[in-house]
Structure formats: structure tokens, C-alpha cells
Amino acid sequence: MNELFTRIASSTGTDENTARQSVGYILAFLREESSDPAVETMIAETPGTAEALGSIGEVDFGGGGLMALGAKLMGLGLDMGQIRKVAEELIAYSKSTAGEDTVEQAISSVPALAQFV
């Protein structure tokens, strides 16, 4: 078990598989929307991210931006409050492992996402 997925499952009232997939979608979205190297650093230095990305396979947001990400997350059965909790837990955990500056830079490199977290 990964601490990140355990924390997310606990705070959202979901299971660890849903937590893992939700993190995977958020990270895939970051990768698609940003060319900032901080995104790859954040992913490389946050335990469980390779597992999370692997759990969703190849994903294409079809240029739909934040709405497409929201649709993927809601497709997992998450409501808006749970989505916010997933993002908060992912960011807090990543800051503790990859560093606050790296995570802040990664998030701010995607303006559509930065306004929500």
C-alpha cells in the first residue's frame, strides 16, 4: 500500500483503487497541459506516481482541458468535494516528497488548474 492512496481513500471515503486512478488522471492531465520540467520532477519524486499513471493506461483528454479531467474523475464516481480532496492530498504529499517549490511551479504551469488548487 502507498501512503498517498491510503490518505486519499480515507479523506474521500473511497477505495485505494479509485484514489490511485484519480491521481493518475490528475498527473496525466498535468503532463498533457504543461511542458514545464517541474511536472516531471514532481512525478519522479512523489512515491506511487508511476503506479498511478500505470493504473489508467494511455489517456487522451481530447483537448477538453479541465472539463475533460473533471469528466474522467466524475467517471470514477467522485463528486466535486472529493475531487478537491484528492487534489489537496496529492499536492500536500508531493510537497513533502518533491519539495514545495517544485510542486508550486508544476501547478502554476497549468493556469486552468492553478485556480482550483
Indicate yes or no: pTM above 0.75.
yes
pLDDT tens profile 29-68: 999 999 999 999 999 999 999 999 999 999 989 889 999 9
Q: Is the pLDDT of residue 9 over 90?
A: yes
Question: Is there a domain that residue 57 lies in?
Answer: yes
Question: Is there a domain that residue 68 lies in?
Answer: yes
Number of structural domains (the chain) is 1
Question: Is there a domain that residue 28 lies in?
Answer: yes
Cα–Cα dist 86/20, whole Å: 10
> If we measure between CA atoms, which residue out of 87, 92, 93, 82 comes closest to residue 114?
87
Domain coverage including residue 59 = 3-111
Q: Is the pLDDT of residue 84 over 70?
A: yes
State which amino acid sits at residue 116: F
